[in-house]
Chain A
Amino acid sequence: MPIGRLFLRTPKDGRAKLLLNGLLVAAVLVGFVALSVARVEGRYDFTDLWTYRTRLAMGFGMTLAFSVLSMAASLLIGFASATGSRSRILPVRYLCRTYVNVIRGTPLLMQIYLFFYIIGDAWGVEDRLVAGVLILSIFEGAYISEILRGGLDSIEGSQLEIARAVGFTPAQATRLIVLPQLLRRTLPALAGQFASIIKDSSLLSVISIVELTQTIKEVNAATFAFTTDYLFLGVLYFALTFPVSLLSRALEKRFAYEN
């Protein structure tokens, strides 16, 4: 067997072959990072991380809390905006569409500064935690709005007519027919957006919210163990986002029949 065959996908690949290829890619990536670290004479020092384990755990918990709260709030904002951008009342429609376009068209970092130092300050939102959740939810809500709007557009208008024909009230039609179909169609994309929320929350460190990234920054200022600190930071974020993207993929498979 020519050696090249070892790396080609065929209909009946054994586990060993897949594992071999996986390990190969892992070795190259780890090797590249390790080599880079060696070239800049970085050092690995996990003792410092252990010393600051309580603070790290608190930072991790903070990121988790910010993400969960923002997921819930951005879902609400996104749903309101998605419904509003299909509204027959023109000012509502324009407001929602402007919101989506402006938020999606500008960087989160700029929004954080603008909201926190100008809008937040002007209206007395002084609590950083509240401001943080609000800013993140407003940002992610614009993306979720577009996901949900696409989902709503894809539900045939005839579904509402059928719901009326069988005697459902408008509220029942929404609860029993529209929402379940919307959820099935948008869950995979929503899960992807939730992973983004987790990562984007790292930018809140710029307004001194002590979430995971800010914690690592502070720890690093004391330990100078740059390599281990930031590699570990990556591992922690990945530990949060990877399950979400696995979930997203599983849901995509499960609901694929709809289309």
Chain B
Amino acid sequence: MRIECRDLNVRFGAQTVLDAVGIDASDFRAVALIGPSGAGKSTLLRVLGGLLAPDAGEVRIDGQRVDFSERALLAHRRGVGFVFQTRGLFPHLTAEQNIALPLVHVHGQSPEQARETAHALLARFSLDQDAHKRPYELSGGQNQRIGIARAIAPRPRLLLLDEPTSALDPELTAEVLDMIHELQADGQRMVIVTHEMGFARRACDQALFLADGRILEAGASADLFSRPRTPQLQGFLRKVLEWVP
């Protein structure tokens, strides 16, 4: 899989959120998107997921240019799974329905087929006892894992995760990261915005460092973490790793 971005620009009013972002990531398993808050990480992820059209620039996935017309985006989103930071489920639906409803209405599965897919996924991640519970009855970690299960249910070629653990306590964070790691092992390609530096370094083979709307460093995550070149990344790592043993 290859993701290329050229001269991506996103502005919200007078504020430039993404400034001439260029990416060329290929042959990766997982890309960690790291950087300080407000750097534009979520915005970049939303552009990749087809939830936000850039003001300028282009995105290519496996060489194919993403058409940001609303009509074409419907097709693009079908091939991409998206996991939100928090409250990513539909509150009026059970866990099973959250997974099955898009399968039926977007991916053309029959209701029985979709229910089976949902059950198989929930069972795989030991969530089967939660199949008929609604989000409010579930822990934050369970909510996130069900959100991830929903995102991968249609077998997307790319999974995008937007700080999937930043609203969780450490124990639940571990349970969600374990699930994501298991998906990586299965060959699920992904881009993950995360503040879990241990996970970014060890579980993701590539990394992008974004600051002030610009990509400042990109490459193998081992290199980024052990040999940061820019003062911005050096400073960022010093801060986030300060209390890491």
Asked if residues B77 and A158 are in contact (CB atoms below 8 Å), the reply is no
Q: B74 near A176 (CB under 8 angstroms)?
A: no
Contact A172 B105 (CB under 8 A): yes
How many contacting A-B pairs (Cβ < 8 A)? Answer: 53
- The answer, among B84, B87, B91, B136, for a CB contact under 8 Å with A165, is B84
Among A163, A166, A258, chain B packs the most CB atoms within 10 A around the CB of A166
Tally of B interface residues using CB under 8 Å = 23
Q: Which of A154-173 contact B (CB under 8 A)?
A: 156, 158-159, 161-169, 172
Contact B51 A164 (CB under 8 A): yes
Residues of A within 8 A of B74 (CB): 167, 169
Q: How far is the CB of A173 from chain B (nearest CB, A)?
A: 10
- Is the CB–CB distance between B84 and A162 below 8 Å? yes
Q: B88 to A168, Cβ gap below 8 A?
A: no
A180 touches B84 (CB 8 A): no
Interface status of B214 (Cβ within 8 A of chain A): no
Is B115 at the interface (CB under 8 A from chain A)? no
Complex: how many Å from CA A172 to CA B105? 8
Residues in A neighbouring B84, C-beta threshold 8 A? 158, 161-162, 165
Q: Looking at chain B's contact residues, is the secondary structure mostly helix, strand, loop, or mixed?
A: loop
Say yes or no for B106: interface residue by CB 8 A criterion: yes
Residue B40 lies at the interface, judged by CB distance under 8 Å to chain A: no
Give A27 Cβ to nearest chain B Cβ, in Å.
44
Taking a contact as CB atoms under 8 Å apart, the answer to whether A164 and B77 are in contact is yes
Are the C-beta atoms of A168 and B102 separated by less than 8 Å? yes
Given known A-B contacts A167-B78, A257-B136, A184 and B92 have beta carbons under 8 A apart? yes
> Which chain A residue has the least Cβ–Cβ distance from B73?
A164
User: What separation, in Å, do the CA atoms of A181 and B88 have in the docked complex?
Assistant: 15
Query: For the complex, what is the distance from the CA of A166 to the CA of B81, rounded to whole Å?
Result: 7
Q: Return the contact of B49 from the options A165, A184, A257 (Cβ within 8 A).
A: A165
A163 CB → nearest B CB, Å: 8
B→A interface (CB under 8 Å) = 49, 51, 74, 77-78, 82, 84, 87-92, 101-102, 105-107, 134, 136, 150-151, 154
State the A residues within 8 Å of B (CB).
Answer: 156, 158-159, 161-169, 172, 176-177, 180-181, 184, 257-258
Q: Given A258-B92, A258-B136, list of 7 further CB < 8 A pairs?
A: A161-B84, A165-B49, A165-B84, A166-B102, A167-B102, A168-B106, A181-B90
